[in-house]
Each structure stands twice: as structure tokens, then as C-alpha cells.
Homo-oligomer: A and B are copies of this chain.
């Protein structure tokens, strides 16, 4: 949370510095004021889109946390290793045949994170490939 605000402020500062540089150097005397305003509008529109996406991600994370609690503490005793909630998300999408990139898009995380989760998943399931993970997790009743 604080990090996002800091990054937002830093981005703003960087933009302001950039604009000041443009203004006081050479461009502002040659360019039309309309073009200058257009550049500012475009830049801050992009910045706003980024902020909006960040807000969506945060909200969805909070919603998921409040709605999905009873996933991994009920019946998994000996055969089911303690798969975390996020690893379970990856596993389910994996079983549907999605690629890592598609899983990343659907969960709003990067493909690197998907690889991290899946790698940990394979370790916990003691398998080497995603096809084996699907097969084994169905065997031990992790997924339907």
C-alpha cells in the first residue's frame, strides 16, 4: 500500500521534472500550447490507467481473501500436502489446459509468479511436469 503510493508519487515527480525540462529548454517556445497540453493529457491518461489497474488488482485480492477462506484446512490430512491458496488457483487453471501465460493473465500476476507457484506445486506433489501434477492431484482428490 505504502509502496504503491510512493511509486505513484515518484511517477508524478518524474513526470513533472520531465515536463519542466521540456518547458524550460526549447520545446515550449516552438510548440503550440495545445500540443503541450495534449502531451500532458496523454501522459496522465496512461498514468491513470496504470493506477486504475492497480486499484482493481488490490480490490480483487481483498475480495478473494474475504470470500474464499475454507480452502485448505478441512480434509487434507496425509495424502494432500499443504497447498497454498494461490498454488491451488494455479493448479485448477493448469488442469483446464491453460498455459502459464494464460494463467498469469487470468490471475492478474506475472508469468514469473505462475512459474514460482507451479514449481513449488511440483515439489509438494513430488512430480516433474504439469501433466503429472494434474494426474496426481486428481488421484489424491485435490481437484475434481
A residues in contact (CB < 8 Å) with B: 15, 19, 37, 40-42, 44-53, 55-56, 59, 63, 67, 94-99, 105-106, 127, 129-136
Instruction: List the B side residues contacting A41 at CB < 8 Å.
Output: 15, 40, 44
Instruction: List the B side residues contacting A96 at CB < 8 Å.
Output: 67, 131, 135
B63 contacts A55, CB within 8 Å?
A: no
A85 shortest CB reach to chain B, Å: 20
Given the known interface contacts A94-B131, A97-B132, A131-B94, the answer about A48 and B44 at a Cβ–Cβ threshold of 8 Å is yes
A40 contacts B51, CB within 8 Å?
A: no
Instruction: List the B side residues contacting A132 at CB < 8 Å.
Output: 97
